[in-house]
Amino acid sequence: MIVKETAGIVERLDATAATGQYALDATGALVFRRAALDWHQLQNEEEAFFLRIYCPGDYRWKGADLGVLVTKGRLQAQSVSGATVLTIRARHLIDSIRAHYAGTPLSEPGQKTGGGKFV
């Protein structure tokens, strides 16, 4: 699954999720297990692989691809109406990966910066 930025923001990224293997711990939290470049070593549905696209210092905006998430299990299901929807597990993985991202918002053009300069 491609994880995209859905908020209407423009930020310089200060922190991002690392590329590698993640696992759900006993409490259900998604924790980084190890750096990896290959998703083929995933063993079960409790593990996930994330390939980061943007690094600290890059920018994110609405629609930006943050990374690619791969799991062994299904991330979509059919609703009662027959539409395809994300599973609760998929939403949890997305929220957990997004929690690793932090950024500094860009100031609007024409506003003063902290040093009294206009941007």
Output the pLDDT for position 20: 97
Angle value at C-alpha 42, between 16 and 55, nearest 5 degrees: 15
Higher pLDDT, 112 or 84: 84
Domain presence at residue 114: no
Could you list the residue range(s) of the whole structural domain that residue 70 is in? 2-105
Domain presence at residue 118: no
Domain presence at residue 76: yes
Q: What's the chain's average pLDDT?
A: 90
Domain presence at residue 113: no
Write the CA distances from 41 to 18, 23, 37, 45, 114, integer angstroms: 17, 12, 10, 12, 48
pTM of the model: 0.84
Domain presence at residue 110: no
Average pLDDT of the residues in 76-88: 92
pLDDT digits (tens, 9 = 90+) for 12-66: 999 999 999 999 999 999 999 999 999 999 999 999 999 999 999 999 999 999 9
Output the pLDDT for position 118: 45
Output the pLDDT for position 107: 74
- Token duo for residue 51: 């390939």
10 Å CB burial of residue 89 (0-12, 13-18, 19+) is: middle
Q: Return the bridge partners of 13, or none.
A: 103
Domain presence at residue 115: no
